[in-house]
Structure 1
Amino acid sequence: MVTIKQVSELAGVSSATVSRVINNTDTVKEKTRLQVLEAMATLGYRHNTIAASLASNKTHTIGYVVPELHGSFFGAMMAGTEKVLRHANKHMFVVAGHSDEKQEQREIDALLSRRCDALILHVEAVSDDYLINLAAQDVPMVIVNRYIEAIGDRCISLNNEMGGYLATRHLLDAGHRDIAYLSGAMFKADAQTRLEGHKRALAEFGIPYTDALFSEGTFQAESGERCMQAIIDRQVPFTAVACGNDEMASGAINTLRINGWRVPEDISVIGFDNIDFASYLTPKLTTVDYPVRHIGEIAANWLLNQVYGDGRQSLPHILSPSVIVRGTTRNYA
């Protein structure tokens, strides 16, 4: 087996320099890097990551559990994390928990059994107690899109209640009073708190909340179509729609058009998340900004500091939302 020492001798550099090239650090001159890479190719050297991890007790991998592997929301969040980890020469293992308690637990156990150095958990079905117990085992981890007071120092999320409030408040300030609400699955904490924000905004204007203008979906575009049609079929008047996320908003807009309504001339629509495609719809979607890519970056940077740094970096816990006004909402005369 070819060793680092043999590579260093052929390249005419120290073993430490070879290690820096292998670890892709920025402290090696390009000319030296090329010499080392040429020596590695000549000798057929292949770095033994398993042996290195045993020696250092680090695998340089971060495990990532998300509900699904599809959709712009999770893609943006994972992209933010991957960018940070790639620049730090770390790797990311991604698995899907599918919002199922047993599946989420299995995936977490699988990542830990593969000796991931830390975990980023976007989990929706496991209990708070399960995550509290996991934290008590000194597993380095960040919980995203969820806040648990007992382990709040490990959580980062958006103020979803405020986001739901701002979305409906934007419509109310534009003169709308009959506002439909399309929610994500109500077993999810973010769906619950966004609806709470919606109700708070209505209450401030003295408008009673009514189930006739509410429909529960799944945070996916198809459910936005279905939920919008369900409310239309009830024949309850409305002039605006607040949606649990941008995917549901896009589905709702499609259904409104099929039924002969124009957006925003007849019905105003606001989404939630500000995912990439929101600004490419016609008209462009008014929405609540959820900085998912930034949250992915924050989570990765904090874990890098906790696991490979001095552990002194603090984690911002609750980020504030804002409304991005575009073309799907207008004043109601």
Structure 2
Amino acid sequence: MATIYEVSKLAGVSLATVSRVMNKNTPVRESTRKKVEAAMAELGYRPNSIAQSLASSRSNSIGILVSELHGPFYGAMISSIEAEFRTAGKHVIIAAGHSEEATERDGIEFLLSRNCDALILHVEAVSDEYLVQLKAKEIPFVLINRQVPAIEGHCISLNNKLGGYLATQVLLKQGHRELGYISGPLWKADAQDRYRGHKLALQEAGIDWDERRLFEGDFHESGGSDGIKYLLGQGLAFTGLICANDEMASGAMTEAREQGLSIPQQLSIIGFDNVMLSHYTYPKLTTIDYPIAAMGQMAARWVLKHIYQQQSLQLQLVFEPKVIERDSCVSQSSTAR
């Protein structure tokens, strides 16, 4: 097996220069880089990542902890993070926390044990205090979809309250005043904020909120289906339905049809996230755009700037939702109920 010394000799450069080419952490003249890469190719030399890590104090790997590995939401986030790091010559290690405190803690410890240079965390169950303690230990990390005031500079978040408000405004502006709401798990901060935005829009419209019009879902398709069954079982009329994510909206649309309702003629439905499936429901789903891919990319850039010293990168920490109008909502005057 070829060694770094043989590469150095064949290329006619120092060991330090070979190391700089491999680690990509210091500018090297293009002609020199090509000589080193040609020597590596001729000798069949493959850098030892452990040795590189010891030499540079960097592993060039970043840990990503997400709530789940399935579904279009997390897929879009992870893909954008990985693409940004791949372009920068870095690699990712991925773990899942499953929205459970112990599992999230274990995931963080696992990623740290893999000598990751930094962590990107989409965590929901660990406390703010735990995250503040991580920072106090000088563990480099950035949060996605979470605001912790004490570590605000480490947080990349969406204005979820505004998103819930905008979703409700869509239906109110179309004349709907009898509304149902399927939330995510209300122990989660994003679900709480979207629900708060919904109630604020109702309050501004002079509509009293009836708790029977709320179903607490699970952010999965089954939550939307169960929500429709529950709301219909309350015996309350509703011509509009807000779902706190697109997966639940999809489940609600399927169940509504099975209950004999036509969409949007009898029931207008709006989702939240603007994931890929919202393009393929019938009718196409009106939703709130959650720019999770852009937020994932920004988390990667946060790491590249703060950990790998790419100072020219510009960061955005707070993102704003926007309405994506499609075909699942119509004016109340068009409904038959």
2:125 partner amino acid: A
Residue range with higher mean Cα deviation, 220-229 or 162-171:
220-229
Counterpart in 2 of 1:80? 80
Residues 188 and 171 (structure 1 numbering): CA distance in 2 closer, same or farther, change over 3 Å?
Answer: same
Taking the aligned partners of 1:310 and 1:223, their CA distance within structure 2 comes to 43
Counterpart in 2 of 1:253? 253
Contact 1:286 1:328 (8 Å CA) reproduced: yes
Q: How do 1:261-276 and structure 2 match up within 5 A?
A: 261-276=261-276
**Deviation, structure 1 residue 40:** 3.5
Counterpart in 1 of 2:55? 55
Residues 77 and 310 (structure 1 numbering): CA distance in 2 closer, same or farther, change over 3 Å?
Answer: closer
Task: Find the residue that maps to 2:190 and give its secondary structure.
Answer: helix
Taking the aligned partners of 1:217 and 1:101, their CA distance within structure 2 comes to 20
2:198 is equivalent to residue 179 of structure 1: no
Counterpart in 2 of 1:115? 115
2:214 is equivalent to residue 214 of structure 1: yes
1:233 partner amino acid: G
Counterpart in 2 of 1:164? 164
**Deviation, structure 1 residue 139:** 1.4
TM-score by length of 2: 0.92
Taking the aligned partners of 1:319 and 1:203, their CA distance within structure 2 comes to 25
Identity %, equivalent residues: 48
2:249 partner amino acid: A
**Deviation, structure 1 residue 112:** 1.1
Contact 2:23 2:52 (8 Å CA) reproduced: no
Contact 1:17 1:28 (8 Å CA) reproduced: no
Contact 1:104 1:123 (8 Å CA) reproduced: yes
Task: Find the residue that maps to 1:308 and give its secondary structure.
Answer: coil
Deviation string 1:247-289 (CA, Å, 9 cap, x unpaired) is 0000000011111111111100000011112122221110001
Deviation string 1:103-136 (CA, Å, 9 cap, x unpaired) is 1011111111221110111000000000011111
Taking the aligned partners of 2:332 and 2:174, their CA distance within structure 1 comes to 6
2:316 is equivalent to residue 316 of structure 1: yes
Q: How do 1:15-164 and structure 2 match up within 5 A?
A: 18-19=18-19, 22-23=22-23, 33=34, 39-164=39-164
Residue range with higher mean Cα deviation, 165-174 or 310-319:
310-319
Counterpart in 1 of 2:294? 294
Residues 111 and 239 (structure 1 numbering): CA distance in 2 closer, same or farther, change over 3 Å?
Answer: same
Task: Find the residue that maps to 2:332 and give its secondary structure.
Answer: coil
Contact 2:304 2:310 (8 Å CA) reproduced: no
**Deviation, structure 1 residue 44:** 3.7
Task: Find the residue that maps to 1:164 and give its secondary structure.
Answer: helix
Task: Find the residue that maps to 2:261 and give its secondary structure.
Answer: coil
Contact 2:142 2:299 (8 Å CA) reproduced: yes
Contact 2:159 2:319 (8 Å CA) reproduced: yes
Taking the aligned partners of 1:160 and 1:204, their CA distance within structure 2 comes to 18
**Deviation, structure 1 residue 20:** 6.2
2:128 partner amino acid: D
2:99 partner amino acid: S
Q: Could you tell me which runs of 5 or more consecutive residues in structure 2 were left unpaired when the two chains were aligned.
A: none
Task: Find the residue that maps to 2:95 and give its secondary structure.
Answer: strand
Contact 2:228 2:256 (8 Å CA) reproduced: yes
Task: Find the residue that maps to 1:73 and give its secondary structure.
Answer: helix
Taking the aligned partners of 1:245 and 1:285, their CA distance within structure 2 comes to 11
**Deviation, structure 1 residue 27:** 7.1
**Deviation, structure 1 residue 316:** 2.6
Taking the aligned partners of 1:321 and 1:267, their CA distance within structure 2 comes to 24
TM-score by length of 1: 0.93
1:67 partner amino acid: S
Deviation string 1:201-243 (CA, Å, 9 cap, x unpaired) is 0001111111211111110111111111111122210001000
2:150 partner amino acid: A
Taking the aligned partners of 1:55 and 1:31, their CA distance within structure 2 comes to 20
**Deviation, structure 1 residue 19:** 4.8
Taking the aligned partners of 1:312 and 1:132, their CA distance within structure 2 comes to 27
**Deviation, structure 1 residue 37:** 5.6
Task: Find the residue that maps to 2:171 and give its secondary structure.
Answer: helix
Taking the aligned partners of 2:59 and 2:180, their CA distance within structure 1 comes to 50
How many pairs align? Answer: 332
Deviation string 1:284-312 (CA, Å, 9 cap, x unpaired) is 11000110000000010111110111668
**Deviation, structure 1 residue 170:** 0.9
Contact 2:194 2:244 (8 Å CA) reproduced: yes
**RMSD of aligned Cα (Å):** 2.3
